[in-house]
Amino acid sequence: MKNKLFLLCSIILFSSVFSSCKKEDEENELQINFKTATGYTFSDMGINSGESFKIGVDCSTEKKKDPIIKFNISESVNNGTATTVYSEDLESQNYSHDYEAVMQDSVSGNTHKFTFTITNRDGINKQKSITLTVQ
């Protein structure tokens, strides 16, 4: 009886360790990085009303059979509800996008959080965000 209980506990422990490693590997297969070349905004910063900005991202996945199928950019103001400002359906291992806009808000201190999200065929998401504060 003790041997059966030990065997059952061992199987459960092994299964949970194996499945958690797989989940971690799946989350690491997606990459999203801000472009850092001249002219790009790639970190939180202050911005003047009427000023233009450009945020670029490079996205990729390691698995050809599990491509990126969705790209989304959302914006939330002062930590409010996020609104989609751009969305695209894809089927690609690599994707690059530049988002260009002009800050229309004129209220000093308002924050605009832009969240860039990619989703693969398994439904796994990866996100990066930048917050621009109106000066």
> Which CATH number goes with the domain that contains 97?
2.60.40.3880
Q: Is 98 contained in some domain?
A: yes
Q: Which residues pair with residue 82 across a beta bridge?
A: none
Q: Is 17 contained in some domain?
A: no
Report how far residue 118's alpha carbon sits from residue 60's, in angstroms, rounded to the nearest whole number: 9
Report how far residue 56's alpha carbon sits from residue 76's, in angstroms, rounded to the nearest whole number: 18
Residue 43 sits in which domain range?
30-134
Q: Please give the distance of CA 39 from its chain centroid, rounded to a whole number.
A: 21
- What pLDDT score does 99 carry? 98
Nearest to 74 by CA among 120, 127, 23, 24: 127
Q: Is 21 contained in some domain?
A: no
Q: Is 80 contained in some domain?
A: yes
pTM for this model (two decimals): 0.80
Q: Is 54 contained in some domain?
A: yes
- What pLDDT score does 42 carry? 97
Give the total number of structural domains in the chain. 1
Mean pLDDT, consecutive 10-residue segments, the chain of 135 residues? 54 53 63 97 98 98 92 98 98 97 97 98 96 98
Q: Is 57 contained in some domain?
A: yes
Let me know the angle formed at the C-alpha of 89 by 62 and 24, rounded to the nearest 5 degrees.
35
Q: Is 76 contained in some domain?
A: yes
Q: Is 86 contained in some domain?
A: yes
